[in-house]
C-alpha cells in the first residue's frame, strides 16, 4: 500500500506528464501552421512519449492500491516567436520535469517506499535521454540560425522520428 503523501505526489506527477503532452501537442500545431511538418512530427512524438509517462505512472499507482485522481490540465502556451523559442521552452520544461522527478524520489525515500524508488528510477534515466535529445535539437537549430536551407534539412530530419513505446515498460 502506498502512503497518502506519496499517492498525492504521484497524482501531481501524472498531471505534470499530461500537461507536458498537452504543451507538446500545442507546439506541434504551431509548427504545422508554419509549414514545418518535420518539427510538428517531432513534437507529436514528444507528446506521445509524455502520454506514455503519464499512463505508466497511472498503472503503477493502481497496481500499488493507490487512488488515481485526475485534476484539470492547465492551458498550454500556443504562440512563440520562433522555432528556437519553442525548443528553448522544451529544454527549460524538461529541466523542470527532471527536478519534479528528483523531488518525487525524495518523497518516496522519506516514506521509506523502496518499490516506488525503484519504479521512479526509470524516469530518472528517461529524463537524461529527454534532456539530451532536446539539447541536441536546440544546438542544431542554433547552428542553423537564419539559413533556410539548413532549416529545410533539419525539418526533414525531424520528420523521421517515430514514437515507439518502450518494450520493458
Q: How far is the CB of 20 from ligand FEO (least distance, A)?
A: 5
Residue 97 engages ligand FEO in binding (rule: CB under 6 A): yes
Binding mask 27-66 for ligand FEO (x = CB under 6 A): -----------------------x--x-------------
Residue number with the smallest Cβ distance to ligand FEO: 53
Q: How far is the CB of 53 from ligand FEO (least distance, A)?
A: 4
C-alpha gyration radius of the chain: 17
- Cβ pair 21, 123 in contact under 8 A: no
Of the candidates 110, 108, 130, the residue with the CA atom closest to the CA atom of residue 60: 108
Distance, CA of 62 to CA of 43 (rounded, Å): 29
Q: How far is the CB of 127 from ligand FEO (least distance, A)?
A: 6
Residue 155 engages ligand FEO in binding (rule: CB under 6 A): no
Of the candidates 32, 21, 29, the residue with the CA atom closest to the CA atom of residue 163: 21
In this structure, the number of other CB atoms found within 10 A of the CB of residue 50 comes to 22
Of the candidates 107, 83, 101, the residue with the CA atom closest to the CA atom of residue 7: 107
Q: How far is the CB of 68 from ligand FEO (least distance, A)?
A: 17
Q: Which three cell numbers stand for residue 156?
A: 526533414
- Cβ pair 61, 7 in contact under 8 A: yes
Binding mask 1-20 for ligand FEO (x = CB under 6 A): ----------------x--x
Q: How far is the CB of 35 from ligand FEO (least distance, A)?
A: 26
- Residues 103-132 contacting ligand FEO, CB under 6 A: 130
Which residues of this protein are in contact with ligand FEO, per CB under 6 A? 17, 20, 50, 53, 94, 97, 130
Amino acid at each position: 500500500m502506498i502512503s497518502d503523501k506519496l499517492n498525492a505526489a504521484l497524482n501531481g506527477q501524472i498531471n505534470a506528464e499530461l500537461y507536458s503532452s498537452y504543451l507538446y501537442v500545442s507546439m506541434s500545431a504551431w509548427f504545422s501552421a508554419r509549414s514545418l511538418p518535420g518539427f510538428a512530427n517531432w513534437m507529436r512524438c514528444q507528446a506521445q512519449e509524455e502520454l506514455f509517462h503519464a499512463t505508466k505512472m497511472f498503472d503503477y499507482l493502481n497496481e500499488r492500491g493507490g487512488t488515481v485522481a485526475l485534476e484539470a490540465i492547465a492551458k498550454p502556451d500556443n504562440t512563440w516567436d520562433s522555432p528556437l523559442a519553442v525548443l528553448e521552452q522544451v529544454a527549460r520544461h524538461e529541466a523542470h520535469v527532471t527536478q519534479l522527478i528528483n523531488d518525487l524520489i525524495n518523497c518516496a525515500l522519506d516514506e521509506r517506499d523502496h518499490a516506488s524508488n525503484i519504479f521512479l528510477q526509470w524516469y530518472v534515466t528517461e529524463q537524461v535521454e529527454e534532456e539530451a535529445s532536446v539539447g541536441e535539437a536546440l544546438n542544431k537549430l542554433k547552428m542553423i540560425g537564419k539559413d533556410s536551407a539548413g532549416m529545410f534539412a533539419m525539418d526533414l530530419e525531424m520528420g523521421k522520428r517515430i514514437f515507439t513505446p518502450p518494450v520493458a515498460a
